[in-house]
Structure 1
Amino acid sequence: MYQFTIIVPVYNEEDNLERVEKELLAYTKIATKKTKILFVNDGSKDKSQTMIEAICARNEAFSFLNFRENRGLSAAIKAGFDAVDTELLGYIDSDLQTAPEDFNLLLAQSNTYDLVTGVRSNRKDSFVKNMSSTIANGIRRAFTDDGMDDTGCPLKVIKTEYAKRIPMFEGLHRFLPAMILLQNGKVLQVPVQHFPRVAGTAKFGVWNRLLGPLMDCFAYLWMKKKYINYTIESKG
């Protein structure tokens, strides 16, 4: 029945989840592909899991994975990749600083491209957050040569067969376009809307926006050198 799964990582987002339910449910009614939602609760310590279970109980298209303990954003995304059974998957943050309806802009390009990522137009974050993200993106772009202006944008559509081949490690969610390029896939960036966070607190600060990505770049270079890539010509 379903063609597209949206992965929603959650960590202590009880103040946002009712809005997440409302907006994603509304999106399923206008989506250009039959869509379902997969929450991945990354060991939240608030009421997030209780709320997620209630949301899934009243909405057929919603399901969840619940981590025993907090393992980080990359682990949550990887668990989502492993669980998806649709041809396409997407990813959006539970703070909803990007708009679910913009998935349709990305899906429109999904026949031609293997990963389509949003670029946050007119970002509504603080000067410090914007500047640290700009610097981090510049560092990643210098190391990966992926041509992406905003790899941290939490709005992406990926062909599932490519996503499942990504060897995820902590921090590697920042390198998804580069990891698709390693598979000789095609990537595209599309401008999307961006909004201020209206509830909850940000999970990343200046320190882990700059130092973490720099360290991860060296891990990416090692992985690029060692990456196994092949194409099967025929079977028998």
Structure 2
Amino acid sequence: MKQPELAIIIPVYNEAENLLRLQQVFEAYFPLAKIPSKVLFVDDGSKDNSLQMIRDICNANPLFTYISFEKNCGLSAAIKAGFDCADTKWVGYIDADLQTTPEDFNILADYCNEYDLVTGVRTGRKDSFVKNASSKIANGIRRSFTHDGMDDTGCPLKIIKADKAKAIPMFNGLHRFLPAMILLQKGKIMQIPVRAFPRVAGKSNFHLWNRLAGPLSDCFAYLWMKRKYINYTIAEKKL
């Protein structure tokens, strides 16, 4: 078995209904992965049986690993903790609801050596009109502030160079600004069409209010961070 070079972060909050399917889908994907991969679950203080199921999955297969929070901290904290704990060259991100498929990491993988972040753009989304419309509005608001050129930063399918991901500062709303934060590091980003599927189990933790109000307020935080962001390149060293 090749040493994993991509740690795929899966934030989990009350996703017990999806975890066995996740295990099966990834066990089928691992032998086909263009980049040798493993999973890093981040349990975000789940109140159902998610954490025990994660323990069982990880005990059964060393390609599944996990960390768990003491209490619920939110999606951005879970993603950032995954970045910080990963020990691979690249980090990936996918949601536990499997509305995108790990098979499409192979599509993104073709661009990983050239770009610092490669993100999916969901095609043929099976979500409700309200969800699709609010997502489109939120992406438009974000683009007007960040000028990142990305059409779907909410797409839960990304690969990022780990050193760039670890350098992203921690803040609520982080998950909406990953491409923009890579651009602040003078990194290169790319978006690629990927497939989208309906949620078949569990319950979404997002609604109309936090899809629209959250992104708008976070944009102002991003502008402040952009003005204050420290970027440097070491020309020489002797340590």
Does the alignment reach a TM-score above 0.5? Answer: yes
4+ residue runs of structure 1 moved beyond 6 angstroms? none
Aligned counterparts of 1:168 and 1:180: Cα–Cα separation in 2: 13
Over the aligned positions, Cα root-mean-square deviation in angstroms equals 0.6
Aligned residue number for residue 220 of structure 1: 222
The alignment of Structure 1 onto Structure 2 pairs a total of residues equal to 236
1:38 match: secondary structure: strand
Report deviation, 1:90: 0.1
Aligned residue number for residue 66 of structure 1: 68
Match of 2:199 among 191, 197, 200: 197
Aligned residue number for residue 152 of structure 1: 154
Q: Does residue 93 of structure 1 match 2:95?
A: yes
CA shift digits 1:64-107 (9 cap, x unpaired): 10111100000000110110010001000000000100001111
1:211 match: secondary structure: helix
Aligned counterparts of 2:176 and 2:66: Cα–Cα separation in 1: 23
Aligned residue number for residue 212 of structure 2: 210
Letter aligned with residue 83 of structure 2 = F
Q: Does residue 27 of structure 1 match 2:29?
A: yes
Describe how 1:96-135 pairs up with structure 2 within 5 A: 96-135=98-137
2:48 match: secondary structure: coil
Aligned counterparts of 1:27 and 1:194: Cα–Cα separation in 2: 17
Report deviation, 1:24: 1.1
Any unmatched runs of 5+ in structure 2? none
Aligned counterparts of 1:211 and 1:35: Cα–Cα separation in 2: 35
2:53 match: secondary structure: helix
1:133 match: secondary structure: helix
Letter aligned with residue 6 of structure 1 = I
Aligned counterparts of 2:226 and 2:35: Cα–Cα separation in 1: 33
CA shift digits 1:189-233 (9 cap, x unpaired): 000000000000111000000000000000000000000001111
CA shift digits 1:153-205 (9 cap, x unpaired): 00000000000000020111100000000000000000000000000011100
Report deviation, 1:51: 0.5
Aligned counterparts of 1:25 and 1:215: Cα–Cα separation in 2: 39
Question: Percent of counterpart pairs with the same letter?
Answer: 65
Q: Does residue 168 of structure 1 match 2:155?
A: no
